[in-house]
Amino acid sequence: MRWLLLILLIPYLHLFLKISRNLSKIRPYSVHGLPSVFASVIIPCRDEEKNISSVLNDISAQDYPPELYELIIVDDNSLDTTYSVASGFRGIRNLKVYKNRGSGKKQAIRTGVALSTGDLVITSDADCRMGKSWIRTVASFYEKERPDLIICPVVLKGMPGFFHRFQELEFLGLQGVTTGSAVAGDPVMCNGANLAFHKGSYNLHSEDLHDELISGDDIFLLHSIKKEHPDKILWLESENAVVATLPSWTPGSFIRQRARWISKAGSYTDSATKVIALATLIAILLQVSTLFAGLFDPIFLLVFFAVFFLKSIPDYMILRNTTARYGKKNLMRWFLFSQFAYPFYVVAVLFSCLLQPKTGVPNSPYQRGT
């Protein structure tokens, strides 16, 4: 009877092996010629005086004609010098710095979109870094495909130590699921640190962002557009489109960030997203419960190792593909250690989620290292 518990793992294996197969079909996008579309780049920010100059320098170094893009910085009620640092920057022809018309990241993006002039809107964060062909690549893809939403790649900046290696692998796993589901035409995730959309489409769906929740400016937009036009959501595979973002500095901030991410899951309406989340939760709880039961019945330890081995197969395949595509194959040496740590990390996130505030400034989407 104990071995029948393995049946609970079947949905996870089916879904994630399918995602792995989808990843093998990916082909990188190449820019052909110089696009002519005007792009509005929007960066909402709060208390980013230490990071804002770096992203401004990256945007000023873009190889896209300066007359074909604008950078809109929306300061979300910062308590530091973010606004003055951004306002004083010289080197971007069409740099516009505004105060948020309301409060929170969702309202900051709405403010930026309302004040933008381009049909193509690209969003990122103030702590991100991008290559010189970032805007050009996204604009070229948009001009060719004319999608409503473009999901672009995001990676974490690499740092030493197991904690940061674990973060990178976990994040790359999320990117693998994001990519594999999107290329199959059934996207379930995206990241506002590197997202592009048609302005008109955003305006049609911006009321579906669940303002009662402090995060979800990206995923709720994805789900809303997907309801009507799933075929108009595309993944952009290009090393020139990659954006790198900062990791969490401490385990506590990392757990709180992930708890904030999953705290909005109760508001999801997309069935594919809910199915993947449920299958993952069942697989994790199966690992934890069989390991705990093994303390009292050694047979359960055998079941635990069977679950661990079977679950690791699609996980390894997804991460092997994703680390290779992002030039991070060396991270796979940490795979086994991360697999053992992962169930306990998920349990910690679930407990933290129970204490996660649903509204207000504390633990906002801008917080990373606290």
Contact 200, 119 (CB under 8 A): yes
One-letter amino acid for residue 359 of the chain: T
Burial class (CB within 10 angstroms; exposed 0-12, middle 13-18, buried 19+) of 17: middle
User: Residue 361 has what pLDDT?
Assistant: 40
User: Residue 358 has what pLDDT?
Assistant: 47
User: Residue 366 has what pLDDT?
Assistant: 61
User: Residue 368 has what pLDDT?
Assistant: 52
Query: Interior CA angle at 96 toward 93 and 100, to 5°?
Result: 165
At how many degrees (to 10) do helices 335-354 and 251-263 cross? 60
Domain 27-158+184-245 class, CATH top level: alpha beta
One-letter amino acid for residue 104 of the chain: G
Pick from 56, 31, 26, 245: nearest CA to 133: 31
Residues in the chain predicted with pLDDT less than 50, given as ranges, are 358-363, 369-370
Q: How many CB atoms lie within 10 A of CB 353?
A: 18
Q: How many CB atoms lie within 10 A of CB 223?
A: 23
* CA 276 – CA 338 distance, rounded (Å): 20
Domain boundaries, the chain: 27-158+184-245
Pick from 72, 83, 79, 82: nearest CA to 109: 72
User: Residue 339 has what pLDDT?
Assistant: 94
* CA 286 – CA 289 distance, rounded (Å): 5
User: Residue 48 has what pLDDT?
Assistant: 95
